[in-house]
Structure 1
Amino acid sequence: MRTYRRNRRKSPPWRALAVVGLILVGGGVVYGLISRRPVNLSLIVGAEFVPEDALMAVSVSTESGQWRRLRNYGTEGSQARFQEGLTQLQDNLLAGSDYRYEEDIAPWVGDRITLAILPPPEIDESTPPEDLRADRANILILPIGNAGRLRSIVAQRQEQSGLEERNYRGVTIYEPEIDDPLSEEAANRPSTLAVVERRFLIVSQESSAVNRAVDAYRDNQSILTIPGYNQAWEALPATDLASLFVNVPDSLATLAEDSTRPLNANALETLETQGLASTIDLENEGIRFHTLSWLNPESETLLDVENSLPPTLVNRFPAATMMVMAGSNFNKLWQDYLQDSQANPFLPINGTWIRSALEQTVGVNLDNELLPWMTGEFALGLIPTARNEETTLPGSLVVMAETGDIEATETLLRRIDRAVVDRYGFEVNVEVEELGQRRLVTWDTRRKGLSVSHGWLSDSVVFFTVGSPVTEQFLPQPELSLARHSEFNDVVPREPDESNGLFFLNLNPTQVGEDGQEQSLDLPLLQLPPEQQEFLDAIEAIGVRVGFQDERSGRYDVFVKIESP
């Protein structure tokens, strides 16, 4: 007999995008620091020194071959930008000191290094003056591979920089002597160093951050004690480049303080996600992320592993499709999005605005008339304009959805048809498809090249298009579906096996022209500032697959295909 549990939900595919956003933001701090031996990274090295309230931690290889390989990815422009960013990051991490990685760190450091970002320390009447100016702090955790070389460098630096020794909980700390902790001199002081058991060197510009690292170690209150942390790494494959951990509740709480959009304090308190762990690897054609997120122990939610279904509507999209996101149960996805957007500044879409826009434009009540029947599979895609179409539009937005109530769906579509006639004077043309006698409805918008249409792909799958005329590309079936296209299959990860959502974006789409040759297509994306645009230009495609690890954790595998010079 099957046992049903309460609060069972599916992990929606849009969360993969949020996860991709976290991975890339976090990955921005891993540029750094180059040098030595090969290593297998599957954990955060020195995690015992990272306080449990750390916002994030990233552990990167010091093997020079990995970084040479990474520098060779992309275009000449993106390579130059990457090197600039790498140099700037190194300067920022070693700010306030004369340290240089190649001269002062590479000769003795171990196989990997860790960077952790800490929130500002709590302040009360007992807070020392030097901590009053402390903001978010970076700490570098460097395993000691050659203690003799380190001793000579520290001795030299101690004399040059005027570092003073002090003992904190049995750990020797070297720090600059500052008369006024709130002065400009204090803000630009050299880094504080701590040597722990001859195994690790801890470095930070904030003396209090070094103390907090020692406290985490001595009191056993590091990220190692976060529920689910160790189990997450056991479920992920090993990596040669980098490992990333994000403390989701503390990170979002800190981001909320800086957000220009007001966030719900209660939503932050009831946030269910505990953490995110990711391993990052280099492959011949790009970068692969294996990521796992898990729920906090207080959450009563259980992910619906038993009823997880792989997305199949991508079979309905033609091979030329530039972008597609597919998943199941849009109704649940929307409810989860509204809940999570109250606590996550990375989710900018305003649900209230969308409700109001639908109501005002076509008189549709989102919650009562649209969401109740959108309980099956859905897919959102961008199909490029066929080469023989006379239109200035680059493509069409296509929505496909499996309905749970055919009558309610048909009633809603007819209501929308009447609304555009009454409100905007559009003409609505109804055709009957020969195959299956299904209705195909098009709107005459009185604008050349703009087509709006809707109809049925099967007895239970409805579609809606806005943009250039593209229905002939997928009705009744595409000649070659996206799911069978080599680019899609090369980019979208095959794992996790129990997937219930995916995302695909082709940033370098092509189409066969009248001369039989492939031609590049313009992707209608917003133009970014030149620095970011050069990185975007180096990316050929992005693929994401979403699924479950178990009832308490979800998997998000991402592959970023990068152009070769």
Structure 2
Amino acid sequence: MPESKSKFLIAAVGAAVVVAGSIAAYTYFKAPSGGSSDALGSAKLVPSTALMATYITTDSQAWAKLQQFGTPEAQKLVAKGLENFNKQVFSDSNVSYEKDIKPWAGGVMIAVLPPNQGKPAQLKAPNAPINIQQESNILIIVGIKDKLSALNFANKLKSQKGLKFQESDYKGQKIIETTENSKPTYSVVLNNSHLVLAPEKQAVEKAIDTFKGESSFASKEGASSILNKGVDVKNSLAQIYVPDYAGMVQQLAAGSPQAKQLPPQALAQLKQIKSVVAGVGVDDAGVRVKAIANLDPQLNKFQYQSSPGNIVGQFPTGTFALISGNGISRGWETLVEESKNYPEMKQGLEQVRGQLKFFNIDLDKDIFGWMNGEFAFGAIPSNQGVLANVGFGGALVFDTSDRKTAEATLTKLDTLAKTQQIEIANRNIGGKDVTEWQIPRQGALLSHGWLDQDTVFVALGGPVAEAISDRKNPSLDNSDTFKAVTGSLQKPNGGYFYLDMDKTQTVPLLKSLISSDANAITILSSIRGLGFTANSPDKSISELEMLLALKPIAK
């Protein structure tokens, strides 16, 4: 059995043995455990040194919500995968997760402790380099919601072969060491309501110290508020808590021998983010992920501005992927300002500026300066001309208050194209004047034009320019799929990432990538689309939201 699966079994066995050894009376087993499965209760047993924690619910009602989605084929595939996983994990026993573990296991909290610096270096050979590997400590807290079921499970596992058990005492608490294939797992039951598991004994001892009164993750500065608030998602499946984002990254990087030391500039960037909390849930639209980053307003230099969302209406309903936003020029100014702290980045920008100056183009003014309004990039199906083999093209659309500079830049690019033996032609599409870069016998390679007084587009492929310019068909914002995928995302927001899964699978190039994987096709066919957006009400907070829109199962 693979090591990862073996460790999973070890943890389950260790849990059962601990439960059996720590509970004394049959009558007490019948008593309700009371609040043992909530995130805050588990966090009170996690040491305050923990870098992050994830709480996973075992509430069957929340997970059952997923069963309302997917095609019958996809549901069969998932069910078969879970069945095979159960057989592989418990291949050497007669244990069943559904029958033996699910009845008593409450919510699960997985905490990441700082890398263990006390492990000795391993020398493989006299002349071999010393491998100093600082491993992260994982601590698992499992709520016990049914003590009688837990006892029955423990008794069942006592007869399993190939397991070795050893007890030790730490501050009056019984620690069980369960060994299988020379791989130990340490466990203890605290307060008769929580099972604590870890691959390192030291982590279990620290949990006992916390239980005895040392500071906990629940009381840690930055953690208390995000634990109490969490993230508001329906039918929550998991919540993730990072009370000190910069500190976490710094410690994990320091514990990895492969990672380079973080430069002061990078650390300063990380310190903009104080804490992060995220949640995963299931609602009527599909699987939804929300994340909230608490920022330091004094360090946050980016000037966020919400996007009106009107530019989506410039794209045809056939658009299968789209990224939109607002104020590229402001983002560019922030990047230039930050580059002053990064010599390599600053040098790279200066090189690009110098190369463009050779063609009489100012990178800051001619390229980014006029991109001060809403923008969007969309992928649109097309099987004609230069796009015949690929199956799709792209279009960039910009709103600008500086049409004069934008027109001057496009004229410079047209002149540059002529020097490369590209033919420049003009034609009228849907009443709009469009300039095309044409390739003999293949049509337009690139096109650009104005959709109105303030909106300019640049399109790859003649058919894409026609789809953008000649608005005979409904626009993307009126399509049922776009509404289903993005309609429930938070508003106002800074723009969208949108993907129509059905249309994506019809694009020849993309279709060929998955055509040989029947399982991938089955799973993707149950997904309607993917939507993502972000919002920042003020400089102290940033909110992210993603929806994996799923198709409801046919009844």
TM-score in terms of structure 2 length: 0.73
Q: Which amino acid in the other structure matches residue 115 of structure 1?
A: I
Q: Greater RCO between the two (CA within 8 Å, min separation 6)? A: 1
Q: Distance in 1 between matches of 2:257 and 2:223?
A: 28
> Which of the numbers 150, 165, 168 marks the counterpart of 1:165?
168
Match of 1:19 in 2: none
Match of 1:562 in 2: 550
Pair 313,223 (structure 1): closer, same or farther in 2 beyond 3 Å: farther
Q: How does 1:538-553 map to 2 (within 5 A)?
A: 538-553=526-541
Q: Distance in 2 between matches of 1:207 and 1:458?
A: 68
- Post-superposition shift, 1:533? 6.5
**Paired residue secondary structure (1:469):** helix
- Post-superposition shift, 1:443? 0.5
- 1:416 lines up with 2:404 in the alignment: no
Residues 327-365 of structure 1: CA deviation (Å, up to 9, x unaligned) = 1111344566799999xxxxxxxx879959995998855
Assess if the C-alpha contact under 8 Å between 2:133 and 2:256 holds in 1: no
Pair 45,309 (structure 1): closer, same or farther in 2 beyond 3 Å: farther
Q: Quick check: 151-160 or 466-475, which moved more?
A: 151-160
Aligned residues: 495
Q: Quick check: 235-244 or 499-508, which moved more?
A: 235-244
Match of 1:331 in 2: 329
Assess if the C-alpha contact under 8 Å between 1:71 and 1:83 holds in 2: no
> Which of the numbers 105, 109, 128 marks the counterpart of 1:114?
109
Q: How does 1:294-373 map to 2 (within 5 A)?
A: 294-295=294-295, 297=296, 299-301=298-300, 307-334=305-332, 359=356, 366-373=363-370
Q: Distance in 2 between matches of 1:275 and 1:500?
A: 21
Q: Distance in 2 between matches of 1:525 and 1:256?
A: 42
Q: How does 1:82-481 map to 2 (within 5 A)?
A: 84=81, 88=85, 101-102=97-98, 104-110=100-106, 112-123=107-118, 135-150=135-150, 161-168=164-171, 171-176=173-178, 185=182, 188-189=183-184, 191-215=185-209, 218-222=213-217, 225-227=220-222, 230-231=225-226, 234=229, 236-245=231-240, 247=242, 248-249=245-246, 252-253=249-250, 254=252, 265-270=263-268, 271=270, 272-295=272-295, 297=296, 299-301=298-300, 307-334=305-332, 359=356, 366-385=363-382, 391-422=388-419, 424-431=420-427, 435=431, 439-446=433-440, 448=442, 451-475=445-469, 477=471, 479-481=473-475
**Paired residue secondary structure (1:527):** helix
Q: Which amino acid in the other structure matches residue 49 of structure 1?
A: L
Q: Distance in 1 between matches of 2:91 and 2:135?
A: 15
Which stretches in structure 2 are left out of the alignment for 5+ residues? 1-7, 13-32, 121-131, 341-347
Pair 68,412 (structure 1): closer, same or farther in 2 beyond 3 Å: same
- Post-superposition shift, 1:544? 1.8
- Post-superposition shift, 1:141? 1.2
Assess if the C-alpha contact under 8 Å between 1:52 and 1:225 holds in 2: yes
Q: Quick check: 195-204 or 148-157, which moved more?
A: 148-157
- 1:527 lines up with 2:513 in the alignment: yes
Pair 244,235 (structure 1): closer, same or farther in 2 beyond 3 Å: closer
Assess if the C-alpha contact under 8 Å between 1:239 and 1:281 holds in 2: yes
Q: Distance in 2 between matches of 1:322 and 1:243?
A: 30
Q: Which amino acid in the other structure matches residue 547 of structure 1?
A: N
- Post-superposition shift, 1:227? 2.2
Identity of aligned residues (%): 20
Pair 390,278 (structure 1): closer, same or farther in 2 beyond 3 Å: closer
- Post-superposition shift, 1:278? 2.5
Q: Which amino acid in the other structure matches residue 109 of structure 2?
A: T
- Post-superposition shift, 1:541? 0.7
Assess if the C-alpha contact under 8 Å between 2:372 and 2:400 holds in 1: yes
Q: Distance in 2 between matches of 1:136 and 1:390?
A: 49
Assess if the C-alpha contact under 8 Å between 1:362 and 1:416 holds in 2: no
Assess if the C-alpha contact under 8 Å between 1:303 and 1:553 holds in 2: no
Q: Quick check: 241-250 or 394-403, which moved more?
A: 241-250
**Paired residue secondary structure (1:509):** helix
Pair 99,45 (structure 1): closer, same or farther in 2 beyond 3 Å: farther
- Post-superposition shift, 1:240? 2.2
- Post-superposition shift, 1:293? 2.0
Match of 1:489 in 2: 483
Q: Distance in 2 between matches of 1:89 and 1:330?
A: 50
Q: Quick check: 472-481 or 462-471, which moved more?
A: 472-481
Pair 212,235 (structure 1): closer, same or farther in 2 beyond 3 Å: closer
TM-score in terms of structure 1 length: 0.72
Q: Which amino acid in the other structure matches residue 146 of structure 1?
A: D
**Paired residue secondary structure (1:453):** strand
Assess if the C-alpha contact under 8 Å between 1:394 and 1:468 holds in 2: no
Q: Distance in 2 between matches of 1:472 and 1:46?
A: 59
Q: Quick check: 447-456 or 73-82, which moved more?
A: 73-82
Q: Distance in 2 between matches of 1:40 and 1:386?
A: 59
Q: Distance in 2 between matches of 1:40 and 1:467?
A: 60
Q: Distance in 1 between matches of 2:37 and 2:233?
A: 6
Residues 85-132 of structure 1: CA deviation (Å, up to 9, x unaligned) = 78659978x99999764465334223x22233445223499xxxxxx8
- Post-superposition shift, 1:287? 1.3
Q: Distance in 2 between matches of 1:62 and 1:332?
A: 45
Assess if the C-alpha contact under 8 Å between 1:544 and 1:558 holds in 2: yes
Q: Quick check: 375-384 or 325-334, which moved more?
A: 325-334
Q: Quick check: 453-462 or 326-335, which moved more?
A: 326-335
Residues 175-229 of structure 1: CA deviation (Å, up to 9, x unaligned) = 2589xxxxx83xx12x211222222111122222323444555432416524276
Which stretches in structure 1 are left out of the alignment for 5+ residues? 1-28, 126-131, 179-183, 343-350, 511-518
Pair 331,216 (structure 1): closer, same or farther in 2 beyond 3 Å: farther
Q: Distance in 2 between matches of 1:226 and 1:407?
A: 52
Higher CA-based Rg: 2
Assess if the C-alpha contact under 8 Å between 1:494 and 1:545 holds in 2: no
Q: Which amino acid in the other structure matches residue 527 of structure 1?
A: L
Pair 153,361 (structure 1): closer, same or farther in 2 beyond 3 Å: farther
CA RMSD of aligned residues (A): 4.8
Assess if the C-alpha contact under 8 Å between 2:379 and 2:393 holds in 1: yes
